[in-house]
Amino acid sequence: MAPIKKFVKAAFTATAPNYQSTSKPGSGGSSIGSTSLLSGLDVASVSLEEMCGLFKAEPADNLYLTGNGERGVCLYKPVKKGDVVLSIPISSCFRDDEPPRWYEHLENDEGNEDEHDITDYERYSPSGWASRLAASVLDLELNNSEGEVQNENDLKKGREMWQSMLPDEDILRASLPVHWGEEIVGSTKCTALELAIDSAYFARATAVFTLTDELKQVLEDNKDDKEEIATADLERKCHDALDIVQTRACRVERATEDGAQWGPPLRILAPIFDFINHASSRTTGQGSANAEFGVENEHMCDMHEAKLVVRALRDIDEGEEVLIDYGDSARPAWRCLTSYGFVPDYDLNADTNDEEPIENMAELWMNGLRFDVDPNSVPYDLVEVAAAQTMLDYSVDEEEFAKEEEEIENGMLTPLVARTIADRATEAAVNLVIETEEGDSEEDVWDKAEFVQAASLANRLRWSQHEVLMKFAKNLRGLCNPEPEDED
């Protein structure tokens, strides 16, 4: 990426987008989320204090869930910078290295229970760790947990309460592009999203196949009448469990206080923690991340006393929502949608605290080539393509072209080249907001909440890309028509 340097009198403003508090319906790479569409309990009536007690989380009396509109975690009392917002034992979380006993590694021929033999490939494979966590989620429904955990009854009750607060499975499913049909995917007009869906589809298919096979075996072994179990029903349950894992799991490192890593990363599902919404840590002011998380009390090859701890990045006021940054899996918009099932709200004019605050990008096609652009810089390859296009454009003023001919031939970003790119970016931005054809969808499809949810997210993604391209074009036009320098 090349910042504009030559011929610059009105350079790109160093801007960065800002996430507003973003609630999600429901990659494992970074972190968690929530939704206002729930099955079971009304969030307004749920006390997090009881859940904190069951999970041995601290402090137990300072967190509550908002119940109106987007759900989020807020504070009863203010918290100072660096202080603990939430601390939950790793032993209270679902861990990918502790799947239920029925998953893959059952009793051996002599009746002695084998320890789980998890290979390094399984630990790092998306389908491997996701399947193991999904098996733990499914195990709640099977009511078949046999783990030797202290206060097991409290932990079981807490997990059942947590499960009752999970998103509506149909709405969560509709929020994830991996489940979308071709019509909705095509309406996003985003090639990067389509490629990500293709990649995720095969990983998901592998995970579902493995889970279904194991789940079918344990159900058949425990069924007296041996009634046939519908594979399609089992596959749907496995998909639902994987949706929860995909949108709510986080990754933590196995490392000592001095930073020495002693094992592969651990993926966990942490109840209560997974209700915290996303905001950017690269921006400042209202709507930016005000907390961060990490593992504490961890020792070499020992996580028995380890805790997942959320600490305040700045002073957080009474009644303010706790927000954390989900990391790179939430950037740019299409990746966040693929990972978590929501499109963040970006403020392209927000103040930044990062030297290279690329939060959101949009794709731009020019002469059959695809480029990723952000409002503040231009890819070198795009400049070269645009320079060649400018040289072939007979509508360019000859006198103006003569002034910049040498630079254009060398593939430099001149005002004329900038105008060529800006014109193409504007054209692409307008195309994104043009209504897409509804195809062969039945008329009553808009009566289905699931279709409306998916179509709404597709529209939000298009609008997000539109805003990036328009800002990109505006900054380029500033180069084409630079403001006069102040005279002393």
Query: Which tens digits make up the pLDDT trace of 173-199?
Result: 999 999 999 999 999 999 999 999 999
Query: 39, 169 in Cβ contact below 8 A?
Result: yes
* pLDDT tens for the 488 residues of the chain, in order: 544 433 232 233 222 233 344 555 543 333 333 333 333 344 444 578 999 999 999 999 999 998 655 689 999 999 999 999 999 999 999 999 889 888 865 444 444 444 455 665 555 566 688 999 999 999 988 875 444 444 578 899 999 999 988 989 999 999 999 999 999 999 999 999 999 999 999 999 999 999 999 888 888 776 655 556 788 899 999 999 999 999 999 998 887 777 777 777 889 999 999 999 999 888 887 888 999 999 888 766 677 889 999 999 999 999 999 999 999 999 999 999 999 999 998 887 777 776 656 788 999 999 999 999 999 889 999 998 888 887 776 555 555 556 566 665 666 788 888 889 999 999 999 999 987 555 555 556 667 888 899 999 999 999 999 999 999 999 999 877 655 555 54
Surface-to-core class of residue 483, CB atoms within 10 Å of its CB (0-12 exposed, 13-18 middle, 19+ buried): exposed
pLDDT value at position 284?
Answer: 81
Helix (H) or strand (E) holding 64: strand 63-65
pLDDT value at position 478?
Answer: 86
Paired tokens of 43: 């969030």
Contacts with 403 (C-beta within 8 Å, 6 or more apart), sequence order = none
How far is the C-alpha of 196 from the C-alpha of 193, rounded, in Å?
5
Go through the chain and tell me how many residues it has: 488
Which residues, listed in sequence order, are joined to residue 261 by a DSSP beta bridge? Answer: 255
How far is the C-alpha of 443 from the C-alpha of 438, rounded, in Å?
10
Contacts with 392 (C-beta within 8 Å, 6 or more apart), sequence order = none
Nearest residue to 243 via CA among 172, 191, 329: 172
Residues 215, 451, 67: CA angle, nearest 5 degrees: 80
pLDDT value at position 337?
Answer: 96
The torsion angles phi and psi of 302, rounded to 5 degrees, stand at: -150, 115
